[in-house]
């Protein structure tokens, strides 16, 4: 216990008054990075700072390794998270925890309202630096975070005695920092998709967790109809022109019959076209 803490009795979570005393003495959070308005009840609300690291979902299946890309924020800047994106949100506040204080974070409710799945994390006694919390956008909307937005509430717990070994980073201790992962499909980049057949792309779609199997099933049910409508729309206009502008056809069939014949021929082409194309593809 340091002299600055000697007159703060008690073991357990710090109250708003105790947090204020610690902050005024340069403990818990570094001077000039905290604000009095952040103290609430028995916690402090941390804000989004000038650093974020983002792993974009639209790149997860095109790169062999999934990495976070650093992005700097300044006052007035914002971060847009698309569906499936994951981001490390670093706090504007820089912690300076004594050796007998353990900190926990709880995500704010506004994160859940926008379907941002947040990480509730912690900081060990002796930790110093900004705290980050990881969020993933599980919604079908683009969620915007502004510099300085409140992202989590942090609770400080005073231990019965200082720890024997203050904070040391996991990487320094040799603790594994990430899991292994690979691309879900072999066809992901634009070039790979262009060079693949339709059947290969549909096969790969079935490996995607959201809508892949359903999309393949719907395509199997309706692609014949789509192709038939396309063939009909393509054939009917020129055949209609032929029926109306060609004197031989008009004299042989008459105006009304020639128009009906154009429709019948176009419908026939649209019906036999899809199976004919499949036969040609197999040759």
Measured distance CA(14)–CA(216) in Å, rounded: 55
% of the chain beyond a pLDDT of 90? 43
Which pLDDT score is estimated for 182? Answer: 74
Going through 73-201 in order, the beta strands assigned E by DSSP cover 78-81, 86-96, 101-107, 116-118, 122-123, 128-137, 143-146, 150-158
Q: Do the beta carbons of residue 83 and residue 139 sit within 8 Å?
A: yes
What does the pLDDT average to over 152-179?
82
pLDDT of 9? 67
What is the pLDDT at residue 8?
72
**Of 261, 267, 202, which Cα lies nearest the Cα of 231?**
267
| CA 244 to mean position of chain CA atoms | 56
Residues above pLDDT 70, as percent of the chain: 61
Question: Which residue would you say has higher pLDDT here, 158 or 268?
Answer: 158
User: Residue 37 pLDDT > 90, yes or no?
Assistant: yes
Whether residue 143 contacts residue 80, with contact meaning beta carbons closer than 8 Å, is answered with yes
* pLDDT tens readout for residues 146-155: 999 999 999 9
Is it the case that residue 76 has pLDDT exceeding 60? yes
pLDDT at 34 over 80: yes
Q: For residues 70 and 62, which has the higher predicted lDDT (pLDDT)?
A: 70
Q: Extract the tokens encoding 245.
A: 């502008």
Q: Does position 212 have pLDDT exceeding 80, yes or no?
A: no
pLDDT higher at 248 or 20: 20
Residue 222 confidence (pLDDT): 58
Using CA atoms, how far apart are residues 149 and 147, in angstroms rounded to an integer?
Answer: 6
pLDDT interval class at 20 (50, 70, 90): very high
Radius of gyration of the chain, Cα coordinates, nearest whole angstrom: 32
Looking at every residue in the chain, the average pLDDT score rounds to 79
Q: Provide the pLDDT confidence category of residue 226 given band limits of 50, 70 and 90.
A: low
| Residue 131, pLDDT above cutoff 70 | yes
What was the pLDDT predicted at 106?
A: 93
Alpha-carbon distance of 25 to 19, in angstroms, equals: 10
Residues 6+ apart with CB under 8 A from 138: 83, 84, 115, 116, 117
Across the range 12-39, mean pLDDT stands at 95
The end-to-end CA distance of the chain, in Å, is 83
Q: pLDDT tens-digit profile of 80-96?
A: 999 889 999 999 999 99
Q: Give, to the nearest 10 degrees, the angle between helix 212-245 and helix 255-282.
A: 140
Output the pLDDT for position 31: 95
**Token digits for 170?**
């996991």
Distance set, CA 159 to CA 15, 92, 102, 121 (Å): 14, 26, 7, 18
Domains of the chain: 3-163 (2.70.40.10), 196-282 (no CATH)
Q: What is the pTM of this model?
A: 0.68
pLDDT at 140 exceeding the cut of 60: yes
| Paired strand residues for 40 | 43
Average pLDDT over residues 210-214: 56
Position 173 scores a pLDDT of 63
Position 195 confidence tier, pLDDT thresholds 50, 70, 90 = confident
């Amino acid at each position: 216990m340091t002299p600055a803490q000697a007159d703060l009795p008690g073991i357990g979570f710090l109250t708003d008054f105790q947090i204020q005393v610690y902050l005024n003495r340069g403990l818990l959070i570094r001077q000039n990075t905290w604000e009095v308005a952040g103290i609430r009840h028995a916690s402090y609300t941390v804000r989004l700072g000038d650093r974020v690291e983002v792993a974009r979902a639209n790149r997860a299946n095109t790169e062999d390794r999934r990495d976070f890309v650093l992005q700097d924020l300044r006052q007035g800047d914002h971060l847009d998270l698309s569906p499936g994106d994951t981001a490390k949100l670093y706090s504007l506040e820089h912690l300076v925890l004594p050796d007998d204080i353990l900190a926990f974070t709880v995500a704010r409710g506004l994160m859940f309202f926008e379907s941002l799945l947040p990480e509730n994390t912690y900081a060990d006694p002796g930790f110093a630096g900004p705290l980050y919390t990881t969020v993933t956008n599980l919604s079908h909307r683009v969620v915007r975070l502004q510099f300085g937005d409140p992202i989590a509430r942090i609770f400080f717990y005073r231990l019965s005695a200082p720890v024997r070994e203050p904070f040391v980073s996991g990487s320094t201790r040799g603790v594994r920092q990430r899991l292994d992962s690979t691309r879900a499909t072999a066809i992901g980049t634009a070039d790979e998709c262009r060079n693949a057949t339709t059947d290969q792309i549909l096969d790969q779609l079935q490996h995607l967790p959201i809508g892949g199997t359903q999309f393949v099933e719907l395509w199997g049910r309706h692609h014949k109809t789509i192709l038939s409508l396309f063939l009909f729309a393509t054939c009917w206009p020129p055949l209609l022109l032929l029926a109306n502008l060609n004197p031989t056809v008009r004299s042989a069939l008459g105006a009304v019959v020639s128009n009906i014949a154009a429709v019948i021929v176009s419908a026939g082409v649209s019906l036999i076209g899809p199976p004919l194309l499949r036969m040609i593809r197999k040759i």
